[in-house]
Chain A
Amino acid sequence: MFTYTTPLVGGLLIGVSAVMLLWCLGRIAGIAGIVWGAVSAQPDNAWRWLFIVGLLLGPFAYHTLAAVPYPAPSTAPWWQAVAGGLLVGFGVKLGSGCTSGHGVCGIGRLSLRSLLATLTFMATGIATVYVIRHVLGVL
């Protein structure tokens, strides 16, 4: 079923979060960058760890208070989680950003780098699902 209201509301909340972070702390809300900064022990790190705590608390509060069940777990085998995770982590570090850093914030700043990065990961994401579902015929 096609619904656009909840994705739109969710997207607006993500946008507001990114604006607040830039306005108050002068930081880009790129999750890959925040997570890397937190685990690699950058100075002035408390806000990063608390942002990550918030990332965990937010969905918990939403699912509990709105009584929305958790999404069904992925049916992919564990090695696909390993492969996906490795590629995502390697790629976002090499390419300096993910869906939020390049997509939401970078395009918001009219960065050409971010626009091209976003088009690239969208294209390879679409190509990968195409290969997995329609060439290999799994998932």
Chain B
Amino acid sequence: MKAFVGLLCGILFGVGLAVSGMTDTAKVQGFLDLFGAWVPDLAFVMGGAVCVTLVAFRFVLKSKKPLLAPRFSLPTKTAIDGRLLSGAAIFGIGWGAYGYCPGPAISALGYLQTNTGIFVVAMLVGMALANRITRA
């Protein structure tokens, strides 16, 4: 059942990414091109998603535990530190440089375009490198 929920949520998320245009690198870079030919469409993606989570998360988190798990697994860190901000800054540079963040990159693998495969492999290598550094 848990696995089925995972699959269903993944499908919904993936359809959302494709419908919204997030799997189109040109559109994403157009959205980030604030000082050029700005394409504001994608503001509605995060806007729409956040409207749903802002309202519904409050109700969900009022219950003692999730439907199918013993407890909520929420992030526990609260510190605003250099790691958070430098990580986010580096991520943004990569996002702008190619036009994919992790979700759309994975979803776009299905389009069978060589560069997307290269991007995802490089992304996994980048994660492993950061993991090594933060553990040391």
Please judge, given known A-B contacts A7-B21, A85-B105, whether A80 and B41 are in contact too, CB under 8 Å. no
Minimum CB–CB distance for A88 against chain B, Å:
4
Residues of chain A contacted by B5 (CB below 8 angstroms) = 20-21, 24-25, 47
Q: How large is the interface on B (under 10, 10 to 19, 20 to 34, 35 or more residues)?
A: 35 or more
Contacting pair A21 B92 (CB below 8 A): no
What 0/1 pattern do residues 82 to 117 of A give for CB contact below 8 A with B?
Answer: 111111111111111111101111111111110011
CA gap between A90 and B4 in the complex, in Å: 30
Contacting pair B50 A51 (CB below 8 A): no
Residue in A10, A46, A86, A118 whose CB lies within 8 Å of B20: A10
Minimum CB–CB distance for B107 against chain A, Å:
5
Interface of B is mostly: helix
Beta-carbon contacts under 8 Å, A9-68 to B = 9-29, 31-32, 35-36, 39-40, 44, 46-63, 68
Ordered by A's residue number, 19 sampled pairs between the chains whose C-beta atoms are within 8 Å are: A8-B45, A10-B22, A10-B48, A51-B9, A54-B10, A54-B11, A57-B110, A59-B110, A85-B120, A88-B123, A89-B125, A90-B127, A91-B88, A91-B130, A93-B134, A94-B134, A95-B88, A108-B57, A117-B85
CA gap between A47 and B51 in the complex, in Å: 25
Contacting pair B115 A86 (CB below 8 A): no
Please judge, given known A-B contacts A11-B48, A96-B84, A116-B80, whether A51 and B18 are in contact too, CB under 8 Å. no
Contacting pair B32 A63 (CB below 8 A): no
Residue in B4, B80, B98, B115 whose CB lies within 8 Å of A112: B80
Beta-carbon contacts under 8 Å, B5-32 to A = 5-27, 29, 32
CA gap between A38 and B56 in the complex, in Å: 26
Closest to A82 in B: B122
CA gap between A29 and B113 in the complex, in Å: 26
Interface of A is mostly: helix
CA gap between A25 and B73 in the complex, in Å: 9
Contacting pair B84 A18 (CB below 8 A): no
Beta-carbon contacts under 8 Å, B55-103 to A = 56-57, 60-61, 65-69, 71-75, 77-80, 83-103
Residue in B40, B50, B110 whose CB lies within 8 Å of A107: B50
Contacting pair A13 B15 (CB below 8 A): yes
Contacting pair A14 B91 (CB below 8 A): no
Residue in B25, B54, B86, B90 whose CB lies within 8 Å of A108: B54
Minimum CB–CB distance for B105 against chain A, Å:
7
Contacting pair B87 A104 (CB below 8 A): no
Residues of chain A contacted by B18 (CB below 8 angstroms) = 10, 58-59, 62-63, 68
Residues of chain B contacted by A35 (CB below 8 angstroms) = 102, 106, 124, 127
